[in-house]
Structure 1
Amino acid sequence: MISTRKKGEWLYLSIPSEWEGLSIASILKEKWNVPKTLLHHYRMNKSVKLNGEIISWSTFVKGKDSLQLHLFTNEEFGVIPEYKEVDVLFEDDHLLVVNKPAGMDTHPNETGQIGTLANAIAFYLQSQGIQTKVRHIHRLDKDTTGAVLFAKNKLVGAILDKMLENREIKRTYIALVQGRIKPAKGKIDAAIGKDRHHPTRRRVSPNGQKAISGYKVLEYLPKRDITVVELELQTGRTHQIRVHLSHIGHPILGDILYGGRDDIARQALHAVKIRFIHPISGEYIESVAPFTDDPAVFPGH
C-alpha cells in the first residue's frame, strides 16, 4: 500500500520500493494511465513536484522521495447543491461510495434539475468545505438502490473511468425475479441495443453492444414463486440486468417496463457491493450497501 497525505491543495505521496528507478513520466503514464489532456494540464500548470521541486519528468525516483501533485483545486460542482441525507459507505480524500435510495436519479438529466443523488453529494461536499466537480463513475436507474462510486478530483476520476472500462471495478447486485431460475448458476451473454418502438426501453439485439451478466441463485421462495439472485456485471449497458433477466423469462419483480409483476412499488434491484483497488493507495476497497429501505421489496435481506 502506498503512503499518502493531503496537505492543502497538494497530495504528498511516498515513493514505494517497487517504484524505485521509474521516471515521474512513467508513474503518471503507466502506473496511473493519466489521460493526455490531464498530463498537458499538469505540465502547463507545474502541478507535479519531487521533494518540493519542479524538475524534469524524466527524473528517476528513489525510495525515500516524496512526489507531490496539485490535485485538490477548487471547481464548480456542476450541479445545484441540495440538502438530503447521504448514506456514506466509504470516503477518503479521493473518492466516495454512497448508498443511493429508491426513487432518485443518480444525476440531473437536464440543466437546473434538483432532487438527484449528485445534488445531495454537492451539498455534502460543500458542507465539508470541499469545492469540486461531482463526478459519478457509474450510475444506477432511478428505482434501483445501492452503492454508487464518486471521484473527488480529476486524476482519480480519470483513473476510475479507465478502471471501469477495463472491468476492474466489480459490482454485485441482488434482485428478486419471477419464477425459479435454472440452472442455479450461469452467465447471460446477449448483446443489448435500443428498442426502436420505445424511447427508453432496451432489448436483446444481435446488432447491439456486447453484454454479459453472471448470476447465482441465493434462494427460492416457493410461496411467492420468486428467486433471490445475485448478479455480477462484466459489462455496463443501460438496463443490462433488467433486460437480461427479462430475456431469460425471469423479469425483476416490480419492473413493469420489462414484464415484471406490479405487486410492489418499484423494481426489486439493489447494488449490494462494489469492490476495486484504490487508484492512489493501492488498497483493496470493498463497500457493502445494506438494504436500508423497502423491507417489503427484499424480505429477510
Structure 2
Amino acid sequence: MAKFVLRWIVEPSQTGLLRDFLRNKQLSKKAVTDIKFSGGKLLVNHQEVTVRKKLSAGDAVEVHFPKEPISEQMIPISMALDILYEDEHLLVVNKEAGLPTIPSRYQKHGSLAQGVLAYYIERGVDATFHGINRLDKDTSGLVMIAKHRFAHSLFSKQQKEKQIKRAYIAIAHGRFVTKKGTIDAPIGRKEDSLIERMVRADGQRAVTHYEVLQENEVRNDSVVKLRLETGRTHQIRVHMAHRHNPLLGDDLYGGRCDHIPRQALHSYEVTFVHPFTAETMTLAAPLPSDMKQLLHETMLE
C-alpha cells in the first residue's frame, strides 16, 4: 500500500533551510524527527536530504511519512460505512447508533474504527485509525477521522483551539422555561462508577449552549439544538440530566426508554476550516430513522 506523501514547489519567498520551510508548513521539529527515524524520508528534487538542505526557488520538496503500525487488538472488520466526505486527508462518517467509535473492554469486536481500517485496506490506504472526535456508542452522527498522523495533529490543534464547531439535535424530557441559554457546569467522574459522570464542583469546566426548537405537549418533551464549547465525556447527557431534562432513552442518566431504546442524541453538523485547503466546510448528517419517527409522532399529535 502507498505511504502518504506531501509535495510542494518552493516559491521565491520560501527559500532558505528545509527545516524552516517545513516549520512554516506546520511540521514541528518533533514531527520531522519522527518521520526521519520511523522509516520516512525528506526529498528535494527526488534526492534524500536532511533538514539542513538549502532550498532554491522551484525546488520540489517531498515528505514521505512512515508506515503507520496498526494495533494487533484492532482487527479490521468489513462493514457498510455512510461516508459523507472524503479526501486524501480526511474521512467524515455518519455513525449509526449502537456502533462504538473504538473497541472497548465491553465490545472488542465491531466498532467504527475497525470498519474504517477494513475500508482502508480495501482501497490501499496505508493508515491507522485517527479519530478526531468520538461519539458514545448509542449516539448517532458525524465522526471526523484523519487519514494520516499529520492531518490528525492539525485537526487536534484546531480542536484544542475550539475552531471545530459541532451541533447536535436531542429530544429531552420535559419543557424548558428558558428556550435558549447556556449551561456552564463542571463535569467529573461519579464516585464508584467507571462509566457515569456527574456535575461536581471539582470537575472539568463544561459549557453547552442550547436552543429549544420544538415542544410536544402531549408527550411532554422538547426537541433541542445543542452546541458544545467543550468536549467532556457524556457532556450533553450529563448537562441535560443536571437541569432535570434527561434525554429520551438515556436510562443511565434518568431518561425513559418507552419511546426510544437509546439516548435520543444525534451529532448532525460540523463546521471547520480544512487545514490543507483553507476552505471553510460545513457537513451535515440527516436525522436517523428512530429520531425522525419521534418527530413524526409529534407532528401527528
Q: TM-score range by the shorter chain?
A: 0.7 to 0.9
Q: Determine the C-alpha separation between the residues in 2 that align with 1:168 and 1:135.
A: 18
Higher mean alpha-carbon deviation, 178-187 vs 190-199, is at 178-187
Give how far 1:90 is off. Answer: 0.7
What letter is aligned with 1:52?
Answer: H
1:259 equivalent to 2:258? Answer no
Whether the 8 Å CA contact 1:20–1:60 is kept in 2: the answer is no
For structure 1, the 5+ residue unaligned runs are: 1-7
Q: Which of residues 203, 210, 234 in structure 2 aligns to 1:239?
A: 234
Where in structure 1 do 4 or more consecutive aligned residues deviate above 6 Å? Answer: 16-19, 59-63
- The letter of the residue matching 1:296 is Q
Change (3 A) 1:28 1:91: same
Match of 1:73 among 61, 64, 67: 67
1:82 matches 2:49 = no
Q: Does 1:272 align with 2:268?
A: yes
Cα offsets for 1:245-291 (capped at 9, x unmatched): 11112111111111112222111000001221222222223221112
Q: Aligned partners of 1:169, 1:223: CA distance in 2, in Å? A: 37
**Distance of aligned partners of 1:31 and 1:219 in 2 relative to their CA distance in 1, 3 Å threshold:** farther
How far off its partner does 1:39 sit? 2.2
**More divergent stretch after superposition (256-265 vs 103-112):** 103-112
SS in 1 for 2:7: strand
Pick from 92, 98, 102: which aligns with 2:97? Answer: 102
Say what the alpha-carbon RMSD is for the aligned residues.
2.9
Q: Which amino acid aligns with 2:208?
A: S
Please say if residues 33 and 159 of structure 1, whose CA atoms lie closer than 8 Å, have aligned partners that are also in contact.
Answer: no
Q: Does 1:39 align with 2:32?
A: yes
Counterpart in the other structure of 1:153 = 148
* Structure 2 residue identity aligned to 1:283: E
- Normalised to the residue count of structure 2, the TM-score between the two structures is 0.86
State the secondary structure of the residue aligned to 1:245.
helix
Question: Please, which runs of 5 or more residues in structure 2 have no aligned partner?
Answer: none
Match of 1:296 in 2: 293
Following TM superposition, by how much is the alpha carbon of 1:137 offset from its aligned partner in structure 2, in angstroms? Answer: 1.6
CA-CA distance at 1:156 after TM superposition? 1.1
Percent identical: 35
Question: Number of paired residues?
Answer: 294
Distance of aligned partners of 1:132 and 1:298 in 2 relative to their CA distance in 1, 3 Å threshold: farther
Deviations 1:159-179 (A, max 9, x none): 222222222221111101112
Alignment deviations for residues 79-114 of structure 1 (CA, whole Å, 9 cap, x no partner): 111121100011111111101101111101149921
Q: Distance in 1 between matches of 2:205 and 2:10?
A: 39
Q: Give the partner amino acid of 2:228.
A: L
Alpha-carbon separation, structure 2, partners of 1:144 and 1:205 = 24
- Match of 1:286? 282
Equivalent residue for 2:168? 173
Secondary structure at the counterpart of residue 296 of structure 1? helix
Query: Matched residues in 1 for 2:29 and 2:9: separation?
Result: 21
TM-score (normalizing by structure 1): 0.86
Instruction: Pick closer, same or farther for the CA change 1:164–1:40 going to 2, 3 Å.
Output: same
